[in-house]
Amino acid sequence: MTAMIMQTPTLTLQRSVRSGFWQNSLAAGLAVALHVIVLALLVHGWSPQTTPATQPTVLRTQLVMLPPAAQPQAPEPVPASTPPAPPEPVAAAPVEPVKPAVDPQLQVQKKLEQAALARKRVEEKKREQQAEQQRERLETQRLNREAEQQQLAQQQAQQAQRAEQARLADERARQLAAQTAADSRQYLPLSKQAPDYPQRALDKNIEGDCTVEYTVNPQGKVENPSVLEGCHPLFIRPSLAAANTFRYQPRIVDGQAVAVPAVRNTFHYRIK
């Protein structure tokens, strides 16, 4: 702030009392009074109603001394007195920018809004977690249902497979029984004579078994009989002789009689 003292007609003394001493004293008094007023206002917290600036405002004062006007020659010399020394300029303290007053109601309202926003965020997060848990439960239930359906399908497939295997086994058993019955009917001898017990075996009390393998021709007769291993030599001849007397019902395939190879018969020689 700059204070300038301008010489105006209202402050001009009459020529009769105008002198260098009074003119300097008046200027110094005005400057000091102005400084005192400004300092008093600053001490009591006065501040100009101006728009707050972005930078702090500094109050600066400057004392301007005007050169004394040319004095006309006085008719009588007046003893000059030493003018008082001008007061030293007082450095004003920097004025801090005035902070706007904060309304407590606004602070409370702001805190309430922040708390409501925080609660809203917590509720949204909780809803998201619940939705995620619900999706996980539904996914787990779906997987469990699919696993149960797959297990049920596997069980049904296994049951169907076991039923099919049982059916095939029954069918094979029936076929085997039918084949065995047919073979039995076909291989059932029409006449079968027991062999003679060798006398030498009776004398030596020799017992045993003798298996003969032969082919049944289409006429039901025995061809190419032979004795298998394990037959006692005393039982070979009577076994072959008895096998040649066997007669069988011919085997019929597609309406025609066929030969049946590798037919076996075991003779048991026991002494009673």
Judge if 78 and 1 occupy the same domain. Answer: yes
Residues 166, 120: one domain? yes
State whether 193 and 180 are in the same domain.
no
Per residue in 19-50, pLDDT tens? 556 667 787 888 888 888 888 877 776 555 55
**In this structure, are 94 and 14 located in the same domain?**
yes
Mark whether 228 and 143 lie in a shared domain. Answer: no
Q: What range does the domain containing 205 cover? A: 189-269
Domain boundary among 187, 212, 242: 187
Digit-coded pLDDT (tens) for 148-175: 999 999 999 999 999 999 999 988 888 8
* DSSP per residue, 231-267: --GGGHHHHHHHHHT-EEPPEEETTEEE-EEEEEEEE
| Same domain, yes or no: 201 and 242 | yes
Residue 71 has pLDDT above 60, yes or no: no
CA 246 to chain centre: 85
Shared domain for 1 and 91, answered yes or no, is yes
CATH number for position 213: 3.30.2420.10
Mention every residue, 6+ apart, whose C-beta is less than 8 A from residue 210: 227, 230, 231, 232, 235, 236, 239, 266, 267, 269
Short-list 66, 72, 70, CA closest to 30: 66
Judge contact between 95 and 35, C-beta under 8 A.
no
Total of domains in the chain: 3
Of the three residues 164, 187, 210, the one that is the final residue of a domain is: 187
